[in-house]
Amino acid sequence: MVAPPVAPTWPAPSKTLIPDFPSENTKQLILQQCKTRADLTQVHALLIKTRLIHTTSLSLSLLESAALIVPDALDYALSIFRHHHHHLRLRRCDTSAYNIMIRALTYHHYPRDAILLFNHMSRNLVPPDHFTFCAAFKACSAVKAMIEAQQIHAHVLKRGFQSYGFIENTLIHVYAICAGVAVARRVFDEMPQRDRVAWNAMLAGYAKNGYWDEVVGLFLMMREQQSVVGFDDVTMITVLTACGRLVNLELGEWVRDYVEANGMMGNLSLMTSLIDMYAKCGHVDKARTLFDQLKCRDVVAWSAMISGYSQAKRCSDALALFSEMQKANVEPNEVTMVSVLYSCGVLGAMETGKWVHFYVNKKKMKLTVTLGTALIDFYAKCGSIESAIEVFEKMPEKNLYGYEPNISEARIDAEEEDKVVSVSHHSEKLAIAFGLIKTQPGATIRISKNLRVCGDCHNATKIISKVYNRKIVVRDRNRFHHFQDGSCSCNDFW
């Protein structure tokens, strides 16, 4: 009698083996084991099978893993949140579940959905805690949702959370982005006690809005309380940026002395800020000395030094350093490219500039207004008008000769089309238009304003100076800008 054939045995597909849940550190086990969506599904099935899904801490751990740890599992987290919400009826658990999802939606770039979820939480009478408010404020700042931020602020006051320091610090950050620094400063001034984070948040708010004098003024106030508050690298980086923009070498030197005295010279970001400050203050050789002392150099450090040489019109040094950067196998970024293209245009270094253009195409870098204008300017200065036109035609969006309105400079409560209209009516643009009409061809146009010139108007003025072959001098709150032949004397740093 012939024996029946034996069925072949196929190796089972490999997967992460999840052991039985121990009595302790179960949450840590879930967070460690769930690295993929398959792991997540396996753990979820085991929790359902063992009825441990009804355990508050385990349900929250599973939700946190799906929402914030496992890649591409946000939809799975939303499914867990919806289908198992009836198991999470304890007040603390409900609050924690909402907190996780509000954070996750903002983290995964769905801030408006995070705000809607906060509103849903309020309608369901789920009590928020301090973590809820911080997460909701961050969602508001991501989309500059001023009205929603004010509504959440009202919830904070109603529930008595205004004395929580980190909520106030988050408020300063949100208002500085959404409402302007005046509202943020009012929150700052009303704080009964201010820690270093609060001071840094207010300094950052001023810096983000270009109020460099206010950065210095606030830092001097902070320095009077140095023994109580103290400084960290975040403080120093913000102040050094302001020193560079204001060409305040005296304060910049004080910061360097403080950094050296407190053993902070090993901080790469801080050292890069020092390099940038010295370069903007015209002390490029001091900047190079610091650069040479760096034990490791990232692309930001290289770019800061190359940009410093370009600003100082030491274009040969800029290209020589760029060559060293290539030998060090450090990939350049957009800032590097713009500085190198400027130097290539000044020196007529066509081959190097063409290599930069080739690199931009090879890496499929986005042809932003800044980068596109730099390429156009480079080719124009080198006499290759055909290449300049080719770049212009490939720019995804443009209005006037490679110029695209930067609607981020416009008011925040407008539709996109309205924002473009709003930007087009900034005061210096109207003044330039009037000057072009009323002055003789070739005459210098001079404009004065009491506010900092916005980035959109700065880009527009550069293009207008080239198209109409005019010299345009703009005096804003910080400095003089001399626009000529598509470039500005500030080299786009102001």
- Closest CA relative to residue 222, chosen from 258, 276, 177, 250: 258
The pLDDT score that the predictor gives to residue 369 is 80
- 147 vs 253: CA distance, rounded Å: 42
What pLDDT score does 23 carry?
Answer: 46
**pLDDT tens digits for range 325-365:** 999 999 999 999 999 999 999 999 999 999 999 999 998 88
Residues in Cβ contact with 381 at an 8 Å cutoff, skipping those fewer than 6 apart:
345, 346, 348
Write down the pLDDT at residue 343.
Answer: 94
Predicted local distance difference test score (pLDDT) of residue 469 = 82
Question: E strand or H helix at 133, and its extent?
Answer: helix 130-142
Q: d(Cα 191, Cα 150) in Å, to the nearest integer?
A: 17
Confirm if 59 and 84 have CB atoms less than 8 A apart. Answer: yes
Give the residue ranges of the chain where pLDDT is below 70. Answer: 1-32, 84-93, 227-228, 397-430, 434, 437-438, 450, 456, 493-494
Give the span between the Cα atoms of 282 and 490, in whole angstroms: 12
DSSP strand E in 38-178: where? none
> For residues 100 and 102, what is the distance between their CA atoms, to the nearest angstrom?
6
**Nearest-angstrom CA–CA distance, 415 and 246:** 34
The C-alpha R_g of the chain, in whole angstroms, comes to 28
Q: Write down the pLDDT at residue 254.
A: 97
Give dist(CA 247, CA 128) in Å, integer.
Answer: 46
Give dist(CA 55, CA 27) in Å, integer: 11
For 69-125, write each residue's pLDDT tens digit. Answer: 999 999 999 998 987 666 555 444 689 999 999 999 999 999 999 999 999 999 988
pLDDT of residue 117: 95
Q: What is the per-residue pLDDT for 410? A: 33
> Which pair of structure tokens corresponds to residue 306?
């190359």
Residue linked to tokens 């928020």: 128
Full strand arrangement of the beta sheet holding 487-488: 445-448, 472-475, 480-484, 487-488
